[in-house]
Structure 1
Amino acid sequence: MTYYSEHSKVWVSVDCIIFGFDDSKLKVLIGKRQMDPGRGEWSLYGGFVNANESIDEAAKRTLGDLTGMKNVFMRQVGAFGKVDRDPGERVISIAYYALINVKDYSEKLRKEHGLEWINVTELPQLYSDHNEMVRKAWRLMKQKMKTEPIGFQLLPDLFTLTQLQRLYEAVGGEEIDKRNFRKRIKDMDFIEKTELIDKLSSKRGAYLYRFNKKMYNEDSNFKL
């Protein structure tokens, strides 16, 4: 027996907004679209949901194909379903944002996919409503970072306080007072100071810090 035959069918896809942090800038991974319609236009990376997988599974598969990375931080942004959003067919897309350390992403894989890291504030016009997806994802990430330390997904395991401050400034879109920022950091037990010194980005040398996930799980009062 066939059900719902009286209703029209629509396509369901997923699109991944992949954020990275490099050179004190928040960046997004985009590439030229490899299919019609819109071939050659700047676009996010995505794909259609297979009949045998959930939308979350489709997003993880798409992200895995793109980055070759596992256990990546990913959250759903929402559904985008304007009737005319795709000139090819009636397509509803579920967008997800992911956070990765740029240095962990294979340059070979990036070049194979023809992708570029572009500053989030300097994005070109993207295919369909992809700019809207990025704006919403960025807004959700800003809100999330105020209550959860998700920003550490974008940093190397060892980082300086200057790097950490630059990250929060890049995501928040505004400068932060250095003294107040470091005062707040000192109150966070889950940010550990090590005995290691970074002499590459600082002439005087700066202490390296790390995120202690175990300590964070014991501290439920995080707010920055």
Structure 2
Amino acid sequence: MMKYTGQSRFLVAVDCIIFGFDGENFKILLIQRGFAPEKQKWSLMGGFIQPEESLEVGAQRVLKQLTGLEGVYLEQINAFSEPSRDPVERTIAVPYFALIDIQKYQAQLSSDYHAEWFLLNERPQLIFDHEQMVEMAKMRLRYKAALHPILFELLPEKFTLPQLQTLYEKLYDTTFDKRNFSRKVLSTGLLVRQPDKDKENSRKGAFYFKLDKEKYYDNFQAFLKFIPNPEKFLL
């Protein structure tokens, strides 16, 4: 096999920033690292790219190993390539953020990695440059969610408008006007109201909604305005 001469060989890894929503809180899934260096410390789920894999295929494999889930939303963010980022060997890391409906994953989570959900804003200190990866992923998600209906990937099949508003408020660390938010969301035509209500959180109850999947996929790249003055959250 022909190779380029006089060139160094580097390792390439993928790291998955796994976001979830439990109906009340925005969370991140972390694992305890099982080997040195930084053994037993909290980390993103990651792995080295195999010779036959693309970056995305490698990220999908890593995610399936941890959650058992396939077909999960994944999006690549900027690579991390500082020569000293990994003390063992020169490794370029390509992070992906994933959006998971926590209710789907519960029974499938692998016990091999001692994974645990943490509140996004109360997570433990992470190894290497994983903190910067999480912050970059959070900013990318804020940017994307301000323009596209991406956060629906975090919701169960049936959800209420208060749950949806809470999801957006937790991501942006702010409070939105209830009437304006509901009006804007319903005006998209993406939601189908169901006949039943969630009566656990109020006497009157809140109607459940389902996502119109056909309209959702048709309009996934459409410009939406769920978030007032989104530019203030994107800096």
- Taking structure 2 as the reference length, the TM-score comes to 0.90
CA distance in 2, matches of 1:157, 1:119: 22
> Is residue 34 of structure 1 aligned with residue 34 of structure 2?
yes
**In the superposition, relative to structure 1, how do residues 218 and 63 fare at CA in structure 2: closer, same or farther (>3 Å)?**
closer
What do the CA deviations read for 1:187-218 (whole angstroms, capped 9, x no partner)? 12111211111122333221101111222355
Name the SS of the counterpart of 1:167 in structure 2. helix
The share of aligned pairs that are identical, in percent, is: 39
Query: Is residue 184–residue 225 contact of structure 2 (8 Å, CA) maintained in 1?
Result: no
Name the SS of the counterpart of 1:142 in structure 2. helix
What do the CA deviations read for 1:103-152 (whole angstroms, capped 9, x no partner)? 11134625442111011111211010001001001111111111211111
Name the SS of the counterpart of 1:100 in structure 2. strand
CA distance in 1, matches of 2:202, 2:16: 35
Runs of 4+ in 1 over 3 A off after TM superposition: 216-221
> Is residue 172 of structure 1 aligned with residue 135 of structure 2?
no
Name the counterpart of 1:147. 147
Question: Which amino acid in the other structure matches residue 150 of structure 2?
Answer: I
CA distance in 2, matches of 1:54, 1:26: 30
CA distance in 2, matches of 1:84, 1:218: 44
Query: Is residue 27–residue 120 contact of structure 1 (8 Å, CA) maintained in 2?
Result: yes
Matches within 5 A, 1:1-224: 2-107=2-107, 109-217=109-217, 220-224=222-226
CA distance in 1, matches of 2:223, 2:136: 26
CA distance in 2, matches of 1:163, 1:187: 17
Question: Which amino acid in the other structure matches residue 82 of structure 1?
Answer: E
Give the alignment's Cα RMSD to 1 decimal.
1.6
Name the SS of the counterpart of 2:75 in structure 1. strand
Question: Which amino acid in the other structure matches residue 152 of structure 2?
Answer: F
**In the superposition, relative to structure 1, how do residues 134 and 90 fare at CA in structure 2: closer, same or farther (>3 Å)?**
same
Query: Is residue 189–residue 216 contact of structure 1 (8 Å, CA) maintained in 2?
Result: no
CA distance in 2, matches of 1:116, 1:65: 15
**In the superposition, relative to structure 1, how do residues 216 and 53 fare at CA in structure 2: closer, same or farther (>3 Å)?**
closer
Alpha-carbon distance, 1:156 to partner? 0.7
Which deviates more from structure 2 when the two are superposed, residues 109-118 or residues 48-57? 109-118
Which deviates more from structure 2 when the two are superposed, residues 202-211 or residues 26-35? 202-211
**In the superposition, relative to structure 1, how do residues 214 and 23 fare at CA in structure 2: closer, same or farther (>3 Å)?**
closer
Query: Is residue 68–residue 110 contact of structure 2 (8 Å, CA) maintained in 1?
Result: no
Name the SS of the counterpart of 2:167 in structure 1. helix
CA distance in 2, matches of 1:28, 1:74: 14
CA distance in 2, matches of 1:218, 1:64: 27
- Taking structure 1 as the reference length, the TM-score comes to 0.94
